[in-house]
Amino acid sequence: MLKATEKIWFNGQFVGWDDAKIHVLSHVVSYGSSVFEGIRCYETAAGPAIFRLREHVRRLIDSARIYRMDTFRYSSDELAQAMLELVGINQMRACYLRPIVLRGYGELGVNGLRNPVDVYIACWEWGKYLGEEALSEGTDVCISSWTRMAPNTLPALAKAGANYMNSQLIRMEAAANGYHEGIALDSTGNISEGSGENVFVVRDGKIITPPLSSSVLPGITRDTVVTLARDLGYPIVESVIPRELLYIADEVFFTGTAAEITPIRSVDRIQVGKGSRGPVTEKLQHEFFAIVNGTKPDRHNWLSPVEVRQPVAR
């Protein structure tokens, strides 16, 4: 169960957690017209800090624009400020933020252009996505029998609620077959992404991840790992990845806001490398966690500090 926090930001106001409700005939309910983000706030010695806030806000606005939903009145700066304030008001330390832009209540019918576009931002505590153990031991995944969206069906660059119907099929099938997670192929049969993560492969010291043309979300953790890999001197390329490269890789790992950097120890019950977290994955994890936890300097300016508020007397 979600653990409620005090406030949710709704169209410029802070409302009570239980008051952030929508009508069942809101456009989004029938037609899936929402775009959203998932953002982590980490606890550092200097206080809570939101990771890559600007980039997440940008992707939210990009997603809204793709679906002609960028008609709300809030600027990037206002949305970023709202998130920083929300974490402060809810007195959270480490938490997960979920901004959602949706077509609300008004008319009903596929064309929702006349419905209001409502913006909500919530935050709550969210632990490790694939379990604490997965971060050190690795996770067992399968290739899904479901394909990720073909390019001219649902746009992968938008983080839209509707894409997650496909993600649900992938994730539920994986669970039904005893795996932690599934990786989908794209419509050409090459590796795309997990139900909620990007995929990376390491072979002979070289790191590879599928290009945006493989129907992947332009992951912000993906970009973080590409940047850190370059900093650490690893050759890293975007390249189409055939399924079987996962079977013969030295290392495979997931990246995502929720999943962070999670090693994959088997694919379709074929052991990856030595069947445990590999050295490149571990090195990248160390660098990543050192930066987000504030134990190493934030050299890329990725952290936005939250002002912690004192509890308001009642």
Q: Using CB under 6 A as the criterion, which residues of the chain lie in contact with ligand PPE when the complex forms? A: 38, 167, 193, 196-198, 217, 219-222, 255-259
| CA pair distance 169, 195, nearest whole angstrom | 8
Question: Would you call 199 helix, strand, or coil by DSSP?
Answer: strand
Q: Decide: 121 and 98 in contact? Cβ < 8 Å.
A: yes
- In 47-112, beta strands by DSSP E: 47-51, 95-103
Of the two residues 49 and 115, which places its CB atom closer to ligand PPE in the complex? 49
* Closest residue to ligand PPE in the complex (CB): 38
Phi first, then psi, for residue 211 (nearest 5°) are: -75, 170
Of the two residues 118 and 193, which places its CB atom closer to ligand PPE in the complex? 193
Q: Decide: 190 and 95 in contact? Cβ < 8 Å.
A: no
Residues in Cβ contact with 157 at an 8 Å cutoff, skipping those fewer than 6 apart: 62, 63, 66, 212, 217, 218
Of the two residues 119 and 183, which places its CB atom closer to ligand PPE in the complex? 183
Instruction: Report the nearest approach of ligand PPE to the CB of residue 65 (Å).
Output: 17
Instruction: Report the nearest approach of ligand PPE to the CB of residue 114 (Å).
Output: 29
Of the two residues 118 and 197, which places its CB atom closer to ligand PPE in the complex? 197
Rg of the chain (C-alpha set): 20
Q: Which of the residues 159, 206, 274, 283 is marked catalytic?
A: 159
Establish how many alpha carbons lie within 13 A of residue 160's alpha carbon, considering only the half-sphere containing its beta carbon.
24
Q: How far is CA 54 from the centre of its chain?
A: 14
Instruction: Report the nearest approach of ligand PPE to the CB of residue 116 (Å).
Output: 24
Instruction: Report the nearest approach of ligand PPE to the CB of residue 156 (Å).
Output: 8
Instruction: Report the nearest approach of ligand PPE to the CB of residue 197 (Å).
Output: 5
To the query of whether residue 159 is one of the catalytic residues in this protein, the response is yes
Q: Decide: 156 and 215 in contact? Cβ < 8 Å.
A: yes
Of the two residues 115 and 261, which places its CB atom closer to ligand PPE in the complex? 261
Closest to 49 in 3D by CA, of 311, 304, 302: 304
Q: Decide: 20 and 97 in contact? Cβ < 8 Å.
A: no
What residues are labeled active site?
159
